[in-house]
Structure 1
């Protein structure tokens, strides 16, 4: 499967991107108005890692959170 961490299963997340215009009330304006909402995808930060286990070598796509932790060792 593409764009999925092979250790923890973290994958893409769908979020709303909110576009606003105007000046905030605290800055002396009349308030921010929402002019559009579109869905966007946030992808995990995947890196290719080569692991050696005995004689065998594994190539995995791992997110950086798993890479930083001792989860891969």
Structure 2
């Protein structure tokens, strides 16, 4: 499957990108106003890594968090 970590299953998520204008009340303004909300996708940082598994080389797509955990263990 595309854009999914093969070790932990982490995949893309959908988030709201909020656009604001104005000056904050704490800074002496009248407050921040929301002028637009659009959905965006955040995808994990996947890297192709070759790992030795049971004597054979296996090529996996891992997120960087899993890569760090795999090298530490």
Relative to the length of structure 1, the TM-score reads: 0.92
Q: Shift of residue 56 of structure 1?
A: 1.5
Count of paired positions: 73
Larger relative helix fraction: 2
SS in 2 for 1:69: helix
What's the C-alpha RMSD, in Å, of the aligned pairs?
Answer: 1.7
Unaligned runs of 5+ in 2: none
Q: Deviations over 1:36-68 (max 9, x none)?
A: 000000000001100112431100000011111
Relative to the length of structure 2, the TM-score reads: 0.92
Unaligned runs of 5+ in 1: none
